[in-house]
Amino acid sequence: MSTNASNVPALEIKDLHAWYGESHILHGVDLTVNRGEVVTLLGRNGAGRTTTMRAIMGLTGARKGSIKVDGKETINLPTHKIAHYGIGYCPEERAIFSSLSCEENLLLPPVLKGSSQGMSEAEIYEMFPNLKERKQSQGTRLSGGEQQMLAVGRILRTGANLLLLDEISEGLAPVIVQALARMILMLKKKGYTVVMVEQNFRFAAPLADRFYVMEHGTIVERFAANELQAKMPVLNELLGV
């Protein structure tokens, strides 16, 4: 994993606007994530959280503003080049390939340029023993929980040190959600930087160092974990939590 000796943020977004065709979805997003932090992006459906993740990866339509990864500007780069700045993206829809086996899915993302391999295949199978059992199964024949583990597991091998996780707890049984929570704490201990989009407040709250709340394509609230209690009334109003 590449190390960052200085205090340059892992991710710095300034005045980000993004469109899908003619639809103006993000109206000036400002967001900073420091190395080794876990940051959670909260908000109602349609607030623009997934669009923000996609915009970082260059998967939206037009973009304007500044997105710096490790201090380097990426706003004008094509998607496949952005990934090599050390980003691992786990999309909301998981995107497990049905024409690949479980093992092929796991090994598909290449090791990123300028990084050494992240976790080894063996380490990932140790963390997710189910995936080892189901190695040869067709990717989409795995259960929802297994597909989620696969979607996260495959980006851990690439040497990515900034992880974008979009709704990884969605639709999963509580026992699997707990396993994912333990995984995130473990990743944090290992020095990964994590940005999470989460609807499940009870899952995300104990994990994050800082929180951003989005509404109508901008950030409306930002606070640290130690301010969470004080912010509960505001969150209640914004999110119906």
When asked if residue 80 is in the footprint of other proteins (CB under 8 A), the reply is yes
Least spacing, CB of residue 159 vs other proteins, in Å: 10
Cα distance between residue 157 and residue 45, in whole Å: 31
Nearer to other proteins, 76 or 79 (CB): 79
Residue 72's H or E segment, with its range, is: strand 72-73
Cα distance between residue 91 and residue 86, in whole Å: 16
When asked if residue 206 is in the footprint of other proteins (CB under 8 A), the reply is no
DSSP of 131-161, one letter per residue? HHHTTTSBGGGS-HHHHHHHHHHHHHTTT--
When asked if residue 21 is in the footprint of other proteins (CB under 8 A), the reply is no
For residues 128 to 167, the per-residue mask of contacts with other proteins, x marking binding by CB under 8 A and - elsewhere, is ---------------------------x--x---------
Nearer to other proteins, 104 or 215 (CB): 104
Which single residue is written with the structure tokens 């989009």?
197
Nearer to other proteins, 105 or 181 (CB): 105
Nearer to other proteins, 23 or 236 (CB): 23
| Residues of this chain, 29-68, that bind other proteins according to CB under 8 A | 57, 59
What tokens appear for 29 in the block?
Answer: 């997003």
Strands 193-197, 38-43: parallel, antiparallel or unpaired by DSSP? Answer: parallel
When asked if residue 84 is in the footprint of other proteins (CB under 8 A), the reply is yes
Nearer to other proteins, 9 or 159 (CB): 159
Phi-psi region of 198 (alpha: psi -120 to 50; beta: other; left: phi over 0): beta
| Residues of this chain, 101-130, that bind other proteins according to CB under 8 A | 104, 107-110, 112-113
Nearer to other proteins, 37 or 103 (CB): 103
Least spacing, CB of residue 230 vs other proteins, in Å: 37
List the beta strands (DSSP E) in 130-209.
Answer: 162-166, 193-197
When asked if residue 212 is in the footprint of other proteins (CB under 8 A), the reply is no
CB 8 within 8 A of CB 162: no
Cα distance between residue 60 and residue 48, in whole Å: 12
Strands 218-224, 210-215: parallel, antiparallel or unpaired by DSSP? Answer: antiparallel
Binding site for other proteins (CB under 8 A): 57, 59, 78-81, 83-84, 89, 91, 95, 97-100, 104, 107-110, 112-113, 155, 158
